[in-house]
Amino acid sequence: MTGDTGDTGYAAARAEADRRRGLPEGTGEDVRSLALHDTPPAPAAEFPAHHQRAQSAAPFGEPWPPTAWPEAPTRFLVARDDRFFPPAFPRRTVTDRLGVEPDEMPGDHCPMLAHPVEPADRLEGYRKPL
């Protein structure tokens, strides 16, 4: 995996998840198979054609400057069917680094396209005090 400095273990987590689902090592995947496999056909076709942008490498080059997270309630949603960020990876990383247990919901890498009501309801619920 490009952009993985080894700090998070992303490459190993992704390789293990790919292996478990039977994807031969080194196999490239298109955006539909990797990130939009749970999304209905129309939004899955529209997203890469009209909305996908190249990810800047800047966030992966240097650690975030602050030494601690700001004092604010922190929540994290994990999409249980995400192939790009296999759920075990953010569960571990979020728990270790943020000290919170992620909330899980159905969906691929873009759950807001396949299950728009659930992420909206979750985010709205997070506005209430912990």
Distance CA 13, CA 35 (A): 16
Output the pTM of the full model. Answer: 0.79
Distance CA 93, CA 61 (A): 18
Tens-place pLDDT, residues 69-122: 778 888 999 999 999 999 999 999 999 988 899 999 999 999 999 999 999 999
Distance CA 86, CA 76 (A): 14
Cα 101–Cα 11–Cα 78 angle in degrees, nearest 5: 25
Tens-place pLDDT, residues 32-60: 899 999 999 998 888 877 777 787 887 77
- pLDDT exceeds 80 at position 68: no
- 14 occurs within a structural domain: yes
- 67 occurs within a structural domain: no
- 5 occurs within a structural domain: no
Distance CA 58, CA 17 (A): 26
- 78 occurs within a structural domain: yes
Chain centre distance of CA 62: 20
The domain tally of the chain equals: 1
- 77 occurs within a structural domain: yes
Exposure of 66 in the CB half-sphere (CA atoms within 13 A) = 4
Q: Is there a contact between 36 and 113 (Cβ–Cβ < 8 Å)?
A: yes
Contacts of 129 (CB under 8 A, 6+ apart): 73
Range of 94's domain?
10-47+73-126
- 63 occurs within a structural domain: no
Nearest to 98, CA basis, from 121, 75, 126: 75
Token pair, residue 33, equals 């198979």
